[in-house]
Amino acid sequence: MALDRPKILIATFGTLGDVNPFIGLARALQRQGCVPVIATSEEYRDLVAREGLDFRPMRPDLGEISSRLNMQKGEIATKMSRNKRFLFDQVMFPHLRDAYNDVMGLTKDVDGIVTHCLAFGAKAAAEQRGLPLFNVFLSPMLLFSADNPPLGTPAPFMTSRSPLAVGYNWLLIKTLEAALTLLASPLARFRNEVGLPGVRGFELLVGAPRAAATIGLFSSLLMPPVSQRTRSEIIVGHSFHDGRHTPAGASDPEGLPSDLTDFLDSGSEPIVFTLGSLVAIDRIDYFRACSIAARSLKRRAVLLADSADVDKLRQEMSSEISVHGYVPHSLLFPRCCAVVHHGGMGSTGQALRAGKPQLVTPFCNDQFDIAERLRRLGVARTLKAKDVSADRLAQNIERLLSSASYTDCARAVADEIALNDGAESAAALISQRLRRPGPGISGCVVEGEPGTERV
């Protein structure tokens, strides 16, 4: 039976970079005539409500995790950068049943579920209830295959697309499947406890058995062209939502703080330095190094630091450097000459759309992969966070800005990025599949579906 106004639960967990894309998707679903409900950590309740969206709490909350581990959020970010298992073993797996129970209680009257690919408890609940599930990836690394191996990681993948390299990568992935199954053994045990069938490797960790669709909410420019698909993902483009509501203290109609607008209007385009919402915590020395690098290059700069460090940094800086907490990147990046960031997908998407050259300083998780993809795209240089110093930053920024190739490539990429709105495309796809269920619901890619960037 066709659904007139399908109700859709959207479940996500993590930092602002994991929540904002789904807010953009929810608003696009509203425009499609759907009724979206966002389920995520309690700390995002006000953020979601300000966008006129229905909010429901889904555990865990970062505050709860901080209390359980007796660690500040900055310490958690540092741990994640040093220990690849920490995110799963200490942050996510201990709360599988909490998230599962929350979503089971929220799905009695919904028609479909959209989940972050790492929202394990929510995906299990969708499978348990037999609801159409749309498994969303915000990063290309987790959609790895022999054609699209993870980049910038210790695993010895080959980046060539020759038949020999693809065959080697396929064998390596099969070998790593055992390691992935071991990593996700708490998830396997949980699935067994709630009566779900056993799965292994990639499908256990980030897959979704019988998903209605697997959606990549990022630009296909970050993925290599592939001749043979091992899965049926649909890459639709970035979701660019970044909270463009007017922040406190803002007076101009664009929503930037008035002192930042005055700074931007008063001189040459600055370099923007940002580390997102989590990595920025307890990184005051990083931003000090950024300011020294900018001064050595005789460049103006905007530092987007953790709110706890803003006042202290402002006291230390000259008039050529403007310090702020979070501001919408979509409003700031078009007015800068370059963006230095950590490799989060939110910052990456906004920098690509703004057509600005980038220096990526990855700290943890998929940031190394994203940094390498941007370098291969020709829009960025990379410098690992552990190697950051004022001198190294200055050297890389000088090369970035002195070579026309980075700027030209960034502008060309921006022209392509502008052709696709991932949130609108994903919303059209989800709405269509829920309103017209049938054979296509199995997840196969349908040629000519609305808004698909590459199939």
Q: What is the pLDDT of residue 108?
A: 93
Q: Give which of 178, 205, 180, 176 is closest to 191, Cα–Cα.
A: 205
d(C-alpha 173, C-alpha 340), whole Å? 32
Condensed to tens digits (0 to 9), the pLDDT of residues 183-228 reads 899 999 999 999 999 888 888 888 887 899 999 999 999 987 764 4
Which tokens go with 276? 């997102």
Is residue 307 within 8 A of residue 325, CB to CB? The reply is: yes
Task: Return the CATH number of the domain spanning residue range 7-239+421-442.
Answer: 3.40.50.2000
* CATH code 3.20.20.60 for 258-417: no
| 201 vs 322, residue with greater confidence | 322
Rounded-to-integer distance, Cα 197 and Cα 183, Å: 18
Question: How is residue 218 annotated by DSSP?
Answer: S
Phi and psi based region of residue 52 (left: phi greater than 0; alpha: psi -120 to 50; beta: remaining): left
Distance set, CA 371 to CA 223, 230, 290, 378 (Å): 13, 24, 18, 11
Enumerate the β-bridge partners of residue 272: 302, 339
Q: Is 302 helix (H, G, I), strand (E, B) or coil?
A: strand
Mean pLDDT taken over the chain: 89
Number of CB atoms found within 10 A of residue 34's CB: 22
Is the separation of the CB atoms in 245 and 264 below 8 Å?
no
Longest dimension (CA), the chain: 66
Which pair of tokens denotes residue 333? 């990046």
- pLDDT tens column, 7-53: 999 999 999 999 999 999 999 999 999 999 999 999 999 999 999 99
Residues of the chain with CATH 3.40.50.2000: 7-239+421-442, 258-417
In this structure, the chain runs to a length of 455
The model's pLDDT over 389-436, given as tens digits with 9 standing for 90+, comes to 999 999 999 999 999 999 999 999 999 999 989 999 999 999 999 987
Greater confidence, 230 or 34? 34
Rounded CA separation 174/392 (Å): 38
Any idea of the CA torsion for 160, 164, 166, 169, to the nearest 10 degrees?
Answer: -100
H helices of 5-57, in order, are 16-31, 45-50
What is the phi-psi region of residue 433: left when phi exceeds 0, alpha when psi lies from -120 to 50, beta otherwise?
Answer: alpha
The pTM assigned to this predicted structure is: 0.91
Residue 231: pLDDT band with limits 50, 70, 90: low
Neighbours of 333 (CB within 10 A): 24
Please determine, for residue 454, whether its predicted confidence score (pLDDT) is greater than 60.
no
Six-digit token string for 211: 């998903």
- Amino acid 439: pLDDT: 46
pLDDT at 455 > cutoff 70: no
Instruction: Please state, in angstroms and rounded to a whole number, the distance separating the CA atoms of residues 264 and 136.
Output: 36
Q: Is 380 helix (H, G, I), strand (E, B) or coil?
A: strand
